[in-house]
Structure 1
Amino acid sequence: MRQTFKLYLLLGALIATHISASATEGMWLPHLLGSLNEKEMKGMGLKINASDIYNVNKGSLKDAIVSFGGFCTGEIISSKGLLLTNHHCGYDAIQKHTTLENNYLDRGFWARTQREELPNPGLTATFIVRIEDVTKQALAGVSGNLDERGRQSAIDKNLAAIKSSAKKESWQEVLIKPFFEANQYFLFVTETYKDVRLVGTPPSSIGKFGADTDNWMWPRHTGDFSMFRVYAGKDNKPAEYSLDNVPLQPKHFLPISLDGVAENDFTMVFGFPGRTNEYLPSRAMQLTVEGQDPARVGVRDAALKVIDGYMRKDSQIKIQYAAKQASMANAWKKWIGEMQGVQQTGGLQRKLAYEKRFTEGVQANPALRKEYGGLLDSLNKLYDDLAPYAVARDYYTELVRNTEILNMANNVVNLMQDVRAKGEAEYPALRDKFLASTESTFKNYSTAVDKDVTTALLDLYFKEVPSNKIGGEGYQIWMETNKDGKTTADNIFSKSALTSYDALKAFLSRPYATVATDIWKDPATRLLIGLRNGYAELVSKPHDAIQSDINRLQRRYMQAQMDVLKDRRFYPDANSTLRLTYGKVGGYSPRDAVEYDFMTTLDGVMEKYKPGDYEFDVPEKLRQLHASKDYGQYGQNGKMPVCFIASNHTTGGNSGSPALDAHGNLIGLNFDRTWEGTMSDINYDASICRNIMVDIRYVLFVVDKFAGATHLVEEMKLVHPKKSKVVPVRRKAA
């Protein structure tokens, strides 16, 4: 097996060859755009240079893009650190500031001055300073004779040395990530700002319009945005929250285009996509869409039915569970779309045809046959072996994740394990830290909701998971409660100390020896321990052993694909690092006799309007603005654009990413994908994969005309690139 991953040579040669990957497929590293993508991008309509997108010597587009909280993307849109991201990305922060008296989720919030902007402890904004290839150093001394543990140990030592010697400022950090299944490594120097304040949010009736019914769907009419501001110390460097902090002066902020989009316009999305698996073998795809996705969907479907029922009839529970329900439903619906998308596009058949071409390429070359012969068959066989454990694993993790009392029990068990590892003398300090971190959890907790969820999920778990994947302890408890979810839940919630913060605090405040004994008696922790022990021995252990072999062969298979299929251009899978993707504005046809246009307008909002419905209600003022067609400079031909779609390749983590035009101006805000295209994480198909963006003109319209927060628009640089004109900043009347 080759020890050097000659990516530059390979990809450089591919520029001049036939490219089988779609021109809109791929999540590209920004510092390689000049050598790999610039020519193609300019052919598609790009008007700036790759050096305007990524540059370490002067301000460039990358300097306006941030990892928002580590889970979304945001962009700087003014010289005063104003940050734009999605409403759903800011949802947790908005919820934490929401009370029944100040219901920012229902009514929205707009700070009229910087002093009114609300702090959010723990929320961060991380910029990328520079990116470097450190593959040679990372893999130094790593031979093919090492097993997986030995290989990783050698790499870890190399990475530690690279980090310690990396050139950076004292306030900067170094992150090194593997790419192409750990065949290559890149170093990222970052700056993280820790004072990020809420500036404004529309009401959920705009920011979450359509809610779960419209999630992942097109046509879409959601104003999914919120605004924050990044603050720095007086030296413009990262600083902890302080009233003395000042708005960040960014190296670059995004001008905003008022020209809108037209069909076939070139677009870019710049952000931090979370995770894709584009190079998996066919058996892995089959396992995902025929085994794991159905399991995960089934568990969340049962939980969501319970939660939705309570939220519709209790306003307090609606506030408490708003963020939980949104997060749970988001992945649930995505997995459904993923299954359907792969089936609709013949994804599995395409993968098999790809593997046939790969195998023929291996067999046609004696050197490749010697190196990679039988590799793909071995890898597919391992995925077949993994399948029953992978499905059982998903049932277990979904049960514990979505049953709050079992999740709390799991955290308590982890606490006790931590004490055993560090010594009994550490118990008071570790306990107090745990309780401090747990107190806020119970503020958004309902025993009634959790009890009914627990009932439903236990019935499902013990029905779907074979007893030989559960274990004796867990199954014994199930038998003691008549193999019935309600009986089990009644026993737990009537006797457990984990149903309230006060009861949990009292339980843990006793001597360590007493708690260590009684943890086996509490019905919640007893059930969790029984299930956890069975899972560890019967599922996790064999799963991880097979997965280790898969990881080794998957790395070789990645290298093999690039060695064999030289007419294909390869991009690294997403791994929460900064990427740029590009495509064109356009509609699509997902099935027979169905044709979707590329843009929606406020007219569509009114068509969906259902008074009093929490998903489709529309604020009175928005209805008035629509009736009077009072769209100001943001309307187009008597219409108010709301959302549009394009063929940019996106995934989770791209939420909040800026949609940019050919000049690098902000034209929209990425927030979703079409349902038929959610399978793009494992099976991108340009025919139906579309990303959904809220039109920046709708954002400005809501901020200005609806919310009256004109002072925020005045911070921004508004441009007309199609008319080569800058819009004068409007000043307030004296």
Structure 2
Amino acid sequence: MLLKSVKSSLLLVLIVLSQHVYATEGMWLPQLLSNLNEKEMKGMGMKINASDIYNINKGSLKDAIVSFGGFCTAEVISSQGLILTNHHCGYGSIQKHSSLENNYLENGFWAKTFAEELPNAGLTATFIVRIDDITKEATAGVTKAMSETERQSVIDQKLAEIKKSAKRESWQDVMIKPFFEGNKYYLFVTETYKDVRLVGTPPSSIGKFGSDTDNWVWPRHTGDFSMFRIYAGKDGKPAEYSKDNVPLKPKYFLPISMKGVKKDDFTMVMGFPGRTMEYLPSEAVKQTVEVLDFAKVEMRDAALKIIDGYMRKNEQIKIQYAAKFASTANYWKKWQGEMLGIKKTDGIGKKQRYEVEYNRLLNANPALKQQYAGVLDTLNALYVQINPYAQARDYYSELTKNAEIYSAIDKFLEYTDNAEKQKGNADGYAKARTDFQNTIKAFYANFNAGVDKDVFISLMDIYVNKVPEKFRDAKFNASWKKYNGDSRKLADYVYATSAFTSFDKVNALAQLPFEQMMQQAVNDPAVQLAIFLREGFANQVAPTLNALQLDINKRQRTYMKAQMDVFEGKKNFYPDANSTLRVTYGKVDGYSPKDAVEYDYYTWLDGVMEKYIPGDYEFDVPAKLIELYKKKDYGKYGVNGRMPVCFIASNHTTGGNSGSPALNAYGQLIGLNFDRTWEGTMSDINYDPSICRNIMVDIRYVLFIVDKFAGCTRLVEEMKLVN
């Protein structure tokens, strides 16, 4: 009996150790890897050192990673500033260069020379130069007796002083971010390049293959990549766009492995993940998936069905709404996967069991118990209390975000604020008007009043049915009753009489003398309705919501500190994502999302052809790709007569990691991160290694498309390919 017990204990230990080896959760700060992660990473197969990843004295991996536009990641892959990112990250820029005559979304684009590379106003590429821990300096003067507002005021003052005195070059910038719910602060010295040009993109039938049906789904067969180039001034420093600028000579660029990957290979992803919330209490997780995700999915589901119907019938509308549809659908589907994943892995129960262990350890330590008693219980209770207000906020936000007439009104109101400030300055007033004209003209280029009206009708019905009357303004309720609760009748009136349904009408309004313009705007039915909606939120929801959220923020920070103290020595804590440079690592592996379903870790070009539906906007395949497939003409990029396309691994990623490089054990580029598996999208609040997988396009498929499909061999010749 004793022997059996010992064997069982040993088995349990082995299981725990095995889980630890594959415990790939975490988005780690690169400058801390040598102390926290290097040993584990090498145990998983990494062949380089932490100093090869982050080094301020010589070129390292961090010097090849850029924040692309502030919303994605890209990596430098040549000595001439060529960068690689996702097709969906470059989508907005590609769309702006597209027209019915030159439809780069439909047909792709490849610059044959440097001179043909296309500039993109406003697009930036930001490198991280240095990361410093400034927690001690930032929190100097903070006391426990301070209110949340007083505390933040002291910290803000300190941060302003630190930022001003930070050591940096004249062309460099300084960014400071809070970590661990404001328990730590780090300073980032950055370099931002403002001349980023489009070099190449495959057609959407490759770069967006599978479109919204396959989004967040595995198996995946999408060549989700595009190429840009960073240009600098002749001195090599950041500069505004100029024809005289030259391709950037980077501190480091990524060599590209032609070897591919196999099961259990070590993988590493570097990039700028946007936002995670891994340390929430159980009631917050429950709120996310049972209250807020449901509300947002409901609203976007209605909007997307309408837009999709128009896009399938009208090519012009398809171009106008392509980027907006993709952006809206992205998180709509993500939230659905998040709900599924939490249910599949019992994420709420997992949090509750974690809290039981937290309380056990807390109660066993008198000093910690005295310091943190009641923190978790109070925090959970606050999340229950805030639920109806947070839900009302999300219904309001989704209505005003997806019915775009409200976006036009917001831009107009911003203009009127600027114009009013310049009333005594003729030149300043004229500039404000010109700036507004340019902004609103670009907006209406991708706006269709008929589409927007139908979206308005659908979302207004949901909003009124789901947001209690007490959370709505009395004037809105009166307007609703005036039209007998018929959203179509309300929309007929608003869209027939408002100036905000076309550029010409809004532009004419903006040309009027200020007082006359304001009088007409105030009487505009769309503006009146927007004001009623906003006042309902501002007066009936926001005060209680903000007060509760302020209390939650304070207690969440305390709970974060409590977790780190209670579990001290038992686990390493990584900070939640906040759009700063991070490293995550894992293993190539398949997964099982549900009973009797097992997914392999690789997909091939054969799968593209299996999904092929001629003429379908999601699953059509270019004739040239079909020809290459039939001939098995894969060049040096194929493997035993087959062409690899995508693979998955257990790297912990999120939004912002789109475009991040997937690196092998030697720090060589093996793929391009672009998505997560649907059930694993809940990794933002509940990472689980059993189903959380990131999806990457194999770098050999990227090179095959560039070289064999597009014939843009000059780009491949820039790169350093290694075997």
Q: TM-score, normalised by structure 2?
A: 0.96
Aligned position for 1:395 = 395
> Could you tell me which residue of structure 2 aligns to residue 284 of structure 1?
284
Contact 1:19–1:568 (CA under 8 A) maintained in structure 2: no
- Percent identity, aligned pairs only, is 64
Contact persistence 2:92–2:323 (CA under 8 A)? yes
Of Structure 1 and Structure 2, which has the larger fraction of its residues in helix? 2
**How much does 1:36 deviate?**
0.7
Structure 2: distance between partners of 1:101 and 1:145: 65
Letter in 1 for 2:458: A
Pairwise CA distance, 1:334: 0.2
CA distance in 2, matches of 1:226, 1:266: 25
| Aligned position for 2:261 | 261
Answer whether contact 2:22 2:586 (CA < 8 A) is retained.
no
Residue 302 of structure 1 aligns to a residue whose secondary structure is helix
2:672 matched residue in structure 1: 669
Aligned to 1:730: none
Report whether the alignment pairs 1:590 with 2:593.
yes
Task: Give the equivalent residue in structure 2 for 1:377.
Answer: 377
Question: How far did residue 19 of structure 1 move?
Answer: 9.5
Q: How far does residue 287 in structure 1 lie from its aligned partner after superposition?
A: 0.6
Per-residue CA deviations over 1:292-311 (Å, capped at 9, x if unaligned) read 00000011000000000000
- Alpha-carbon offset, residue 385 of structure 1: 1.1
* Distance in 2 between residues matched to 1:220 and 1:158, nearest whole Å: 48
**Cα 1:236–1:576 shift into 2, 3 Å:** same
Matching residue of 2:500: 498
Given residue 591 of structure 2, which amino acid in structure 1 is its aligned partner? Answer: Y
Q: How far does residue 419 in structure 1 lie from its aligned partner after superposition?
A: 5.3
Mapped partners of 1:440, 1:651: distance in 2: 30
Distance 1:424 1:208 in 2: 50
Write the distance in 1 (CA, Å) between the matches of 2:418 and 2:178. Answer: 29
Question: Which string of whole-angstrom CA distances, capped at 9 and with x for unpartnered residues, describes residues 336-371 of structure 1?
Answer: 000110011000000000011111111111111111
- Whole-angstrom CA distance in 1 between matches of 2:236 and 2:105: 32
Partner of 2:490: 488
The residue that corresponds to 2:453 in the other structure is 451
What are the equivalent positions in structure 2 for 1:16-95 lying under 5 Å apart?
23-95=23-95
> Which residue is equivalent to 2:170?
170
Residue 541 of structure 1: CA displacement?
Answer: 1.6
CA separation of 1:21/1:629 partners in 2, compared to 1, >3 Å: closer, same or farther? Answer: closer
- For the Cα contact (< 8 Å) 2:409–2:500, is it kept in 1? yes
Show the counterpart of 2:712: 709
Comparing 680-689 with 485-494, which one deviates more in the overlay?
Answer: 485-494
Residue number in structure 2 paired with 1:565 = 567
Indicate the SS of the match to 2:311.
helix
State how far apart, in whole Å, the 2-side matches of 1:551 and 1:201 are: 43
Q: Structure 1 residues 385-394 or 423-432, which shifts more?
A: 423-432
2:407 corresponding residue in structure 1: 407
* AA in 2 matched with 1:107: N
CA distance in 2 between partners of 1:540 and 1:412 (Å): 23
1:462 counterpart SS class = helix
Q: Which one-letter code corresponds to 1:83 in the other structure?
A: I
Q: Which amino acid aligns with 2:646?
A: C
- For the residues of structure 2 that align with 1:355 and 1:594, how far apart are their CA atoms? 32
Q: Distance in 2 between matches of 1:483 and 1:412?
A: 28
Rounded to whole Å, the distance in 1 between the matches of 2:529 and 2:424 is 24
1:649 counterpart = 2:652: yes
Q: Which amino acid aligns with 2:720?
A: K
1:242 — aligned with what? 242
**Rounded Cα–Cα distance in structure 1 between residues aligned with 2:273 and 2:654:** 6
Distance of 2:541 and 2:279 partners within structure 1: 26
CA distance in 2, matches of 1:322, 1:27: 32
| Aligned partners of 1:173 and 1:190 also within 8 Å | yes
**TM-fit CA distance, 1:686:** 0.3
Helix, strand or coil at the partner of 2:89: coil
Where does 1:1-12 land on structure 2 (aligned, <5 Å)?
none
Aligned equivalents of 2:213 and 2:279: distance in 1?
32
**AA paired with 1:359?**
N
Gaps in structure 1 of 5+ consecutive residues: 1-16, 721-734
Give the corresponding residue for 2:9: none
1:702/1:296 CA distance change after superposition, 3 Å: same
Q: Please list, as runs of the form range in 1=range in 2, the aligned pairs for 1:273-672 lying within 5 A after superposition.
A: 273-417=273-417, 429-566=431-568, 567-672=570-675
CA distance in 2, matches of 1:649, 1:374: 32
Note the C-alpha offset of 1:414.
Answer: 3.8
Distance 1:217 1:95 in 2: 24
**Pairwise CA distance, 1:422:** 7.3
Give the residue type in structure 2 aligned to 1:485. S
Q: Could you report, residue by residue, the CA deviation over 1:96-144 in whole angstroms, capped at 9, with x for unpaired residues?
A: 0001111101110000000000000000000000100000100011111
Say if 1:419 and 1:427, in contact at 8 Å, map to a contact too: yes
Check the 8 A contact 1:142/1:155 in 2, yes or no. Answer: yes
> Which stretch has the larger CA shift, 398-407 or 573-582?
398-407
2:653 partner letter? T
The answer to whether the 8 Å contact 1:282/1:380 transfers is yes
1:6 corresponding residue in structure 2: none
> So what's the TM-score if we normalise by structure 1?
0.94
Instruction: Indicate if the aligned counterparts of 1:269 and 1:658 stay in contact, CA closer than 8 A.
Output: yes
Query: For the residues of structure 2 that align with 1:179 and 1:709, how far apart are their CA atoms?
Result: 43
Say if 1:30 and 1:53, in contact at 8 Å, map to a contact too: yes
Question: Which residue of structure 2 aligns with residue 4 of structure 1?
Answer: none
Amino acid at match of 1:648: N
AA at the equivalent of 2:709? F
Cα deviation digits, residues 648-699 of structure 1 (max 9, x gap): 0000000000000000000000000000100000000000000000000000
The amino acid across from 2:150 in the alignment is G
Report the equivalent of 2:196.
196
Q: Give structure 2 stretches of 5+ with no counterpart.
A: 1-16
Distance 1:189 1:40 in 2: 28
CA distance in structure 2 between the partners assigned to 1:468 and 1:116 by the alignment = 58
C-alpha distance after superposition, 1:425-481 (max 9, x if no partner): 675543432222221111111111111111111111111111111121211111122
- Tell me the SS of whatever aligns to 1:400: helix
Amino acid at match of 2:584: T
User: Residue 148 of structure 1 corresponds to which residue in structure 2?
Assistant: 148
What secondary structure, in the 3-state scheme, does the structure 1 residue paired with 2:593 have?
A: strand
CA contact (8 A) 1:18 1:568 kept: no
Counterpart Cα distance in 2 of 1:462 and 1:415 = 30
Mapped to 2, the partners of 1:435 and 1:118 lie a distance apart of 24
* Structure 1 residue 520, shift from structure 2 partner: 2.5
Contact in 1 for aligned 2:21/2:44 (Cα 8 Å): no
Distance in 2 of aligned mates of 1:365 and 1:53: 39
CA contact (8 A) 2:85 2:226 kept: yes
SS in 1 for 2:182: coil
Structure 1 distance, partners of 2:75, 2:152, is: 35
- The separation in 2 between residues aligned to 1:267 and 1:711, in whole angstroms, is 29
Partner Cα distance (1:93, 1:381) in 2: 45
What RMSD over aligned residues (CA atoms) do the two structures have, in Å? 1.4
- Secondary structure of the equivalent of 1:83? strand
